Amino acid sequence: MILPEYLQTIFIAKEPPEGGWPLQFAVLTACNPMSSGEREDDAAATIRLRRRLSRSGHKRYRITGSSTDWNHQEASFAAWNLTLEEAMEIGREFQQNAVFWIDGGRIELVSCENGERKFVGNWEEQFLLWSDKPTFRIYVIRLDPEVRKARRFRDANPLAREDAGCLYVGMTACSAEERFNQHKRGYKACSFVRRYGLSLFTELFPQTDLLPLNAARRLEIEYAESFRKQGYAVWQR
């Protein structure tokens, strides 16, 4: 049986295997299809699957199958030097409904029961790195105009208007409110925010969606430059 949820799977690893992905391989898991992928018996089953692949001489690479919102994750292995039939046999051995089969970058979900095949997507689009996880958000803090007395701040904003506000733009993995409070407490704080921070700039800057690390870094700079073009004096590092 192929459940619709399986067709929305993404695959995550720290990095691709050395030498890149083979032309053909399977993605196999031993996790209970009805569990969250976090139970103790899933961990034990994953160890058995790893040993099973090793005994059979199949190459393997640790990978995680995940829902697109990254909330439901299952420990898995990309395995090669095996046929689709062997992958299905291993799937049945570990009570799986289906296995993923990748051929030339094309991902299909194959039923272990009757061989039914459904297209999932392309590997280059469905494979992500852990650094791609949307964890960070951008936040903006209003600063007291007294911050202009600091030479470093003035030097960073030579074109700022005197009548415009002063802002700090940053990124965080926690809520904007919590990060603002951390600054004020002196925890991993920007000295300008700790001394001159007034409040979150929610009037013109709504909460942003969570972003991957690299995307958040780029957007943090883009927002800072955008505010500077509007005449604000901005600190961003």
pLDDT tens string 81-98: 999 999 999 999 999 999
The pLDDT of residue 196:
98
Tens of pLDDT, residues 127-148: 999 989 999 999 999 999 999 9
Measured CA distances, 159 to 135, 170, 224, 230 (Å): 33, 21, 13, 10
Quote the distance between the C-alpha of residue 104 and its chain's center: 25
Q: What is the pTM of this model?
A: 0.73
In whole angstroms, what is the distance from residue 30 CA to residue 47 CA? 9
Measured CA distances, 140 to 124, 168, 202 (Å): 34, 6, 8
Both ends of the chain: CA-CA distance in Å? 51
Beta strands at 73-80 and 24-29: parallel, antiparallel or unpaired? antiparallel
The pLDDT of residue 6:
84
